[in-house]
Amino acid sequence: MLDKTYEAASVEPRIYEAWEQADAFKAGAGAEDGAATYSIVIPPPNVTGSLHMGHALNNTLQDIMVRYQRMRGRDVLWQPGMDHAGIATQMVVERQMAADGGNISRRDLGREAFVERVWKWKGESGGMIFNQLKRLGASCDWSRERFTMDEGLSKAVLEVFVSLYKENLIYKDKRLVNWDPKLLTAISDLEVEQKEMQGNMWHFRYPLADGVTYQHPVAFDEEGKATEFETRDYIVIATTRPETMLGDTAVIVHPDDERFKELQGKDIILPLVGRRIPIIADDYVDLETGTGAMKVTPAHDFNDFDIGKRHDLAQISIMDREANIVLREAEGFMDGLEMTDELTKTLETLEGVERFAARKLIVSMLDEKGLLDEVVDHLNMVPHGDRGGVPIEPMLTDQWYVDAKTMAQPAIASVREGRTKFVPANWDKTYYEWMENIQPWCISRQLWWGHRIPAWYGPDGKFFVEKSEEEALAAAAEFYGKPVKLMEQNDALAAHDAGEADFVAMYRDEDVLDTWFSSALWPFSTMGWPDKTAELARYYPTSVLVTGFDIIFFWVARMMMMGNHYMKTEPFDTVYIHALVRDEKGAKMSKSKGNVIDPLALIEEYGADALRFTLSAMAAQGRDIKLATSRVAGYRNFATKLWNVCRFAEMNECHAVEGFDPALVKQTVNRWIVTETSRAIREVSEAIDTYRFNDAAGGAYRFVWNTFCDWYVELTKPIFYSDDEEAKEEVRATTAWVRDEILKLLHPFMPFITEELWQRTAETAGSKRDEMLVLSSWPTPIGEDEEAAAEINWLIDMIVQIRSVRSEMNVPAGAKVPVVLSGASEQTKERLAIHEAAIIKNARAESVTTADEIPQGSAQIVVGEATVCLPLAGVIDLDAEKARLGKSLDKIVGELTKISKKLENERFLAKAPEDVVAAEKEKVAELAERKEKMEAALERLAALG
């Protein structure tokens, strides 16, 4: 006998262990002979990670598809793995070292010992998220678990780096990067977060060289024409980062700006430095905002870097890697400068000073010289490193780059020509925009944890890129014509400076590769490439990639590039982009807001099935999920409903009958439920196939809760209580068959409770299932009986409509009202005769009759061709009901007017957060629907008299 209640906390771990013991998730498990493959590579979570709501959604959707395809008999592989997460992992271990005491840094420990310590941490504490994914129910083939730093994937990374270098698709260059002055490494755009900060916009006067002056407009008429001018020997520059001015190499003005026409081609003298820099024309300057003139610092701003390239400007980097001002040794800073008293003071005051302290000093020094024009409060978006937590600094450094523009071309064609498609389709526009404007991809990181770059340097800066140290040193020895000796970088440079003549000192590149480099190879490296494995031949290309929109460029696009380049075909047929999971008000979850919802806490309280079903039911394409705990609680109630209906079936001796053919049932109600089951199977299957997870979950929910649990059970109860044994046996067999189809249908969404019921319902019948539900066959539709379906659906519609009118009219629950049908056809009259008892019982009817005329004082609804009348005169107080409904309608109209006016207010729309506006729009839609229903109810009352 099934337990009275379902205890998810005790059942779920037991079920998962049983699946693993049965190898239910192994590649090819349950596959039919000659079956087509279906493969997904998991977006690899960080080795430092723990399950958050984004992971929960992403992996739930993948698991739904994997379980569904496995049950369809496909040869399925869900490939799991983890990313080594360079910065995150290095930070975790360094914090651990600090917590251990002793004040030992990684540099004190040394590179080899530190990396060894990271591996030790990984073995003991890393990868916790895999157990959390199992708690969610993820059915990956864990026997194939991969790690981006394991031997096989490291081999793939080495192969790709060296081959791309030899194809001139990887090169070294000095360019601007996002530099984290705390972590002392370049970071990717994805690791940069913009923070709104209150700051200042400083306006400085840059003196014009050679005594040049010009007439600057200071007053204007109504048409905007200048009416007054003043003579100026300076040009005003506005900046939020005064510390970078020391590296200015030009001032730009718009070519069409009349104010500065005569200054184009002239020079200014850079304050505090004395450098002579040109005033040049460039249409990057906005004519409508600011002072009309911009300083250009190519070594400290990404836009300025591009401007500098266009005009061949010097790139003067005036900061070291810790963002301290360094001038004396800055390449190009002293070129052409006269050592004046001003420059001497600048060097003495600012050399070695931290950037923000230098900012204050520079502002003060310019103020003392009378060059501070004004200071304006300014709300600024300041980029911060998401790990280091400090403002990043655009830094001119030597880094390794991939020629992304060349590699992007086949990847663009893959989508444009339809070989890979995005779902929802609108994301292909984002993909094109990024790919067609792609910049060189910086792949080097100044870290110790990661794939070390296979490049070895000689004393002249020449480097040798090979797959092994032996090959690189052999190539160097041949090039230099003398023996080579490998040393640490500092020792090698010292040996070179000392003039060692009998050997060439060599050192290896200190940097490691960006973690996105190894994850770009994920679809094929995890299957054994560069070796020609059976898995690679069978499962590549993969079927679908499920991921978030924020990494379309960082991961999806790069997998497309690498897959096309090395496998000569796209890595996946479809890219499904899921939405964000937000809080119930639509706000993005963040620790600072305190609105983060922990999926593991929800699993503990409500069970994994309830969380999974909630996420899938809300996963509409292109629409963010507003997650409320109450929704999860609601779907736990759905699980309870499923459990209880199985107990009901068990108590009524509904057991699976061998050889039962649902197509041959005789009872109309049974033919109807078989038809509705077939329709539900078709609806859910088509929705999963087209990535409409919310429609799939919604279709399954409606069928299980409404059609089966509510209506079929209710309509068959009289048969259970009758003396017709033949009818009883058919209902029992049909109930058991539908129950089993439901367990299959719900399994991808709610795997734990369905697997438990699959086993337990057989055991209570004294038998055993041939196989676990996870490896059973997906249900197939049976032929539909349109006539039976129409008859029972007519009956249900009749009862629902009568109940709805009773509710709207506030008819007391205990009051029984006559039901009179006017204009009924012969078919309807026959149906009434058959189902009179069901209508009387379920619609609380006093009687069910037909008439030629509509009785006076009747509320009317139309079901089919007939008008269904409920004579309510004397049953309810018409005046009181009109007053009640009118009052409610007035309240709704008032609220609807108030919110509608707010949404028509441009200021509100401009200033209100996106989630607040969306919530107000939802309220309008809800109120409009309620208003419509209330007006319909009042119309019915008016018709009563």
Residue-wise pLDDT for 799-829, tens only, equals: 999 998 888 888 888 889 999 998 899 999 9
Looking at per-residue pLDDT, the higher value among 459 and 139 belongs to 139
Give the number of other CB atoms < 10 A from CB of residue 717. Answer: 15
In the predicted structure, residue 932 carries a pLDDT above the cut 90: no
In the predicted structure, residue 923 carries a pLDDT above the cut 80: yes
pLDDT score recorded for residue 944: 66
* C-alpha distances out from residue 264 to 258, 267, 307, Å: 11, 8, 16
CA distance 346 to 334: 12
Dump the DSSP string for 231-269: EESEEEEEES-GGGGGG--EEEE-TT-GGGGGGTT-EEE
CA distance 126 to 802: 60
Closest CA to 625 of 607, 609, 639, 613: 613
CA distance 687 to 619: 12
pLDDT score recorded for residue 937: 67
Check: CB of residue 443 under 8 Å from CB of residue 515.
no
The two three-digit tokens of residue 85, written as one number: 């997460």
Check: CB of residue 544 under 8 Å from CB of residue 592.
no
> Across residues 22-29, what is the average pLDDT?
97
> Across residues 423-443, what is the average pLDDT?
95
> Across residues 301-313, what is the average pLDDT?
96
CA distance 432 to 417: 12
* C-alpha distances out from residue 815 to 479, 565, 805, 837, 892, Å: 102, 75, 13, 17, 29
pTM of the predicted protein model: 0.88
Closest CA to 473 of 400, 163, 167, 465: 465
In the predicted structure, residue 834 carries a pLDDT above the cut 80: yes
pLDDT tens string 484-494: 999 988 888 88
pLDDT score recorded for residue 910: 78
Give the number of other CB atoms < 10 A from CB of residue 11. Answer: 18
Helix (H) or strand (E) holding 785: none
Give the number of other CB atoms < 10 A from CB of residue 381. Answer: 8
In the predicted structure, residue 878 carries a pLDDT above the cut 80: no
> Across residues 394-404, what is the average pLDDT?
97
pLDDT score recorded for residue 905: 84
The two three-digit tokens of residue 809, written as one number: 């009219």
CA distance 53 to 195: 23
In the predicted structure, residue 496 carries a pLDDT above the cut 90: no
3-state secondary structure of 621: coil
In the predicted structure, residue 914 carries a pLDDT above the cut 80: no
pLDDT score recorded for residue 190: 84
Q: Give me the helices (H) in 608-764, please.
A: 608-617, 629-651, 668-689, 693-701, 713-720, 725-746, 751-763
> Across residues 863-892, what is the average pLDDT?
78
CA angle 451/504/473 to nearest 5° reads 40
> Across residues 672-687, what is the average pLDDT?
98
Ranking 90-99, 122-131, 299-308, 927-936 by mean pLDDT, the lowest is: 927-936
CA distance 754 to 67: 12
Mean of the per-residue pLDDT values for the chain? 93
Closest CA to 778 of 698, 692, 879, 685: 685
- Radius of gyration from C-alpha coordinates of the chain: 36
In the predicted structure, residue 102 carries a pLDDT above the cut 80: no
**Confidence class for position 713, pLDDT limits 50, 70, 90:** very high
* C-alpha distances out from residue 302 to 177, 201, 253, 336, Å: 8, 19, 18, 26
* C-alpha distances out from residue 791 to 786, 797, 830, 832, Å: 9, 10, 10, 10
pLDDT tens string 173-201: 999 999 999 999 999 888 899 999 999 99
Check: CB of residue 286 under 8 Å from CB of residue 338.
no
Helix (H) or strand (E) holding 832: helix 826-842
Check: CB of residue 602 under 8 Å from CB of residue 629.
yes
* Sequence-distant (≥ 6) Cβ neighbours of residue 95 within 8 angstroms: none
pLDDT score recorded for residue 869: 86
pLDDT score recorded for residue 835: 94
pLDDT score recorded for residue 881: 64
pLDDT score recorded for residue 877: 65
3-state secondary structure of 228: strand
